[in-house]
């Protein structure tokens, strides 16, 4: 769910052209007015895998699409069964040093805006404020019939109440490795045994996590907010994202067109590598705390 939209051709995924070091990044960030655009690489140290980074190498999971979720009841049922099992790991995830470093840079006035493609809420848990969640948040659930919002923890508790035998059977599985969009692979017979609940507000539904699925459009007002923040920034710093789809890449391209300096810090290649004035491949949990220390020195 972190990369909705049309995936770009990956012929760009070659050797990463590195430019500069932590000192160059410090010079860019130290001038202030920084807009951070973060991706899944921010959260891998918190135990949440990504789709295209190093932690995804052994995964062959195909994420749920918006079309399937909305129009295929069986696919929707399957999603909720898998998500019910995977949510506890997402809910227990805690911010890592990279999240805390971004919050520290925001508190000292160098980072003015944070836009995240992630749906895990870890930027806010790490102390960041006024975060634009480009792709929504897994902690919220929305009814597609009445549009009422619910807290995911409350929905999860109700699902647990009505699925005692399902949960007991899942507990006996040997491998329930969580996928990047917060679900797990389950045997078909277990998926069939799962019971879904209705909307607590209207009693109908269907319920959908308040996130942007693959193939779904980000709400236009949210996109416009992000463009304004990028336009007002003195520099754009991309953290932990390959920007492999246009949903995030468009902001890096807008910054480059405006002559705004762009820094990219992520493992592996990025679609914005040719736009970056500073390009590092260092682990975010190391480079961002080092950046904070350098700027405080």
Reported in sequence order, the residue ranges of the chain that DSSP labels E, i.e. its strands, are 34-38, 111-116, 131-133, 136-143, 149-151, 207-211, 235-239, 262-265, 278-280
Per the residue annotation, which of 84, 99, 123, 135 is the catalytic one? 135
Q: Is 148 helix (H, G, I), strand (E, B) or coil?
A: coil
Contact 30, 211 (CB under 8 A): no
Write the DSSP assignment of 163-229 as a string of letters: -HHHHHHHHT-S--PBPTTS-B---HHHHHH------TTTS---EEEEE--BTPPPPHHHHHHHHHH
53 contact partners, CB below 8 Å, separation of at least 6: 40, 41, 44, 240, 242, 266, 267, 268
* Token couple for 137: 């948040």
Q: Give all strands of the β-sheet with 262-265 in edge-to-edge order.
A: 131-133, 111-116, 34-38, 235-239, 262-265, 278-280
The two structure tokens encoding residue 67: 């079309």
Number of DSSP helices (H) and strands (E) in the chain, helices first: 11, 9
Distance CA(175)–CA(164), nearest Å, equals: 19
CB under 8 Å to 246, separation ≥6 — which residues? 5, 6, 8
DSSP state of 63: P
Nearest alpha-carbon partner for 51 in 135, 129, 124, 145: 135
Is 135 designated active site? yes
Nearby residues of 171 by Cβ (< 8 Å), 6 or more positions away: none
Just list the catalytic residues. 135
């Amino acid at each position: 769910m972190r990369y909705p939209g049309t995936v770009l051709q990956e012929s760009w995924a070659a050797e990463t052209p590195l430019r500069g070091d932590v000192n160059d990044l410090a010079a860019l960030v130290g001038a202030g007015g920084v807009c951070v655009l973060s991706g899944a690489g921010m959260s891998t140290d918190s135990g949440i895998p990504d789709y295209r980074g190093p932690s995804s190498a052994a995964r062959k999971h195909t994420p749920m699409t918006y079309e399937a979720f909305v129009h295929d009841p069986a696919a929707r049922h399957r999603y909720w069964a898998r998500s019910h099992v995977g949510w506890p790991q997402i809910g227990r995830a805690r911010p890592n040093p990279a999240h805390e470093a971004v919050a520290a840079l925001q508190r000292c006035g160098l980072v003015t805006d944070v836009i995240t493609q992630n749906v895990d809420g870890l930027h806010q848990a790490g102390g960041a404020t006024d975060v634009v969640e480009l792709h929504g948040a897994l902690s919220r659930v929305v009814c597609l019939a009445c549009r009422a919002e619910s807290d995911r923890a409350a929905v999860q508790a109700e699902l647990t109440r009505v699925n005692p035998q399902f949960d007991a059977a899942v507990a006996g599985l040997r491998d329930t490795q969580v996928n990047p969009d917060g679900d797990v692979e389950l045997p078909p017979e277990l998926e069939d045994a799962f019971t879904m609940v209705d909307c607590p507000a209207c009693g109908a539904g269907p319920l959908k996590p308040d996130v942007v699925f693959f193939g779904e459009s980000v709400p236009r007002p949210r996109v416009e907010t992000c463009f304004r923040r990028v336009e007002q920034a003195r520099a754009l710093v991309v953290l932990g994202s390959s920007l492999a789809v246009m949903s995030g890449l468009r902001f890096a391209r807008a910054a480059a067109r405006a002559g705004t300096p762009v820094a990219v810090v992520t493992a592996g290649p990025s679609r914005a590598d040719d736009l970056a004035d500073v390009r590092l491949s260092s682990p975010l949990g190391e480079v961002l705390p080092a950046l904070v220390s350098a700027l405080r020195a």
